[in-house]
Chain A
Amino acid sequence: AQKITQTQPGMFVQEKEAVTLDCTYDTSDPSYGLFWYKQPSSGEMIFLIYQGSYDQQNATEGRYSLNFQKARKSANLVISASQLGDSAMYFCAMREVISNFGNEKLTFGTGTRLTIIP
């Protein structure tokens, strides 16, 4: 079963508008973490934001915020005031603890390609 689902393969957004990238996840583990990464055409994987399953407040990092709805198992990324430099591939990922020894793995969604239009 797909652990991380990103239903938007591509999005086009006007510069300066806000954009929401969708991510839903599936886990039965009470302890998990959710990540968003940006991958520009250069290929590097840039960490944007993290939300722990026990965090009470939604995570925010500058123009990025994570709309965490635990009951709905969704962790949407919101980018405010989009810029041309935001054009990239965006991946949602989930970390699950897979053993009592703290072993973990990160599972990625298929990504959303965001294009900002001037």
Chain B
Amino acid sequence: AAGVIQSPRHLIKEKRETATLKCYPIPRHDTVYWYQQGPGQDPQFLISFYEKMQSDKGSIPDRFSAQQFSDYHSELNMSSLELGDSALYFCASSFTSREAFFGQGTRLTVV
């Protein structure tokens, strides 16, 4: 069965650079979530989309933005990267308020 696909799996950026993370949800899933997980931390909610419309924002810095496209894939854009942005970034998708499945994550390292 198709799972949530995230790319890239690993990303190394320098401070003040920009990064774009991509997420391809499970086909026919109507909700996409983005989470940030720092080392030793629980996942923190960033932003979600329902049917391509932004539905909620969590603790997402103004330097970050996200969108969901007509084909339902989503992108998380991060600008002016800081060392503290180094984390594992997860995308998850779900359908009709049931199980939510996560991608394998993108490990971002800012140096």
- A and B bound? yes
The majority secondary structure among interface residues of chain B is: strand
Instruction: Tell me whether A35 and B55 are in contact in the complex, defined as CB-CB below 8 angstroms, given that A43-B88, A102-B50, A109-B42 are known contacts.
Output: no
- Chain B residues within an 8 Å CB radius of A47: 99-102
* Selected A-B contacts with CB under 8 Å, 15 pairs: A43-B88, A44-B105, A46-B102, A47-B99, A47-B100, A95-B100, A101-B55, A103-B48, A103-B50, A104-B31, A104-B50, A104-B56, A106-B45, A107-B45, A108-B42
Chain B residue nearest to A99 (CB atoms) is: B55
**Pair count A-B, CB < 8 A:** 76
Interface residues of A in 72-118 (CB under 8 A from B): 91, 95, 97-99, 101-111
Number of residues on chain B facing chain A (CB within 8 A): 28
A29 to B15, CA, bound (A): 42
- Chain A residues within an 8 Å CB radius of B31: 102, 104
Contact indicator A91/B43 (Cβ below 8 Å):
yes
Interface residue ranges, A against B (CB under 8 Å): 31, 33, 35, 37, 43-47, 50, 52, 91, 95, 97-99, 101-111
A32 to B30, CA, bound (A): 17
Chain A residue nearest to B58 (CB atoms) is: A105
Interface residue ranges, B against A (CB under 8 Å): 30-31, 33, 35, 42-45, 48, 50-51, 53, 55-56, 58, 88, 90, 92, 94, 97-102, 104-105, 107
Contact indicator B56/A97 (Cβ below 8 Å):
no
A106 to B48, CA, bound (A): 9
Q: A108 is contacted by which of B43, B98, B104 (Cβ under 8 Å)?
A: B43
Chain A residue nearest to B99 (CB atoms) is: A50
A98 to B48, CA, bound (A): 11
A52 to B88, CA, bound (A): 28
Contact indicator B43/A44 (Cβ below 8 Å):
no
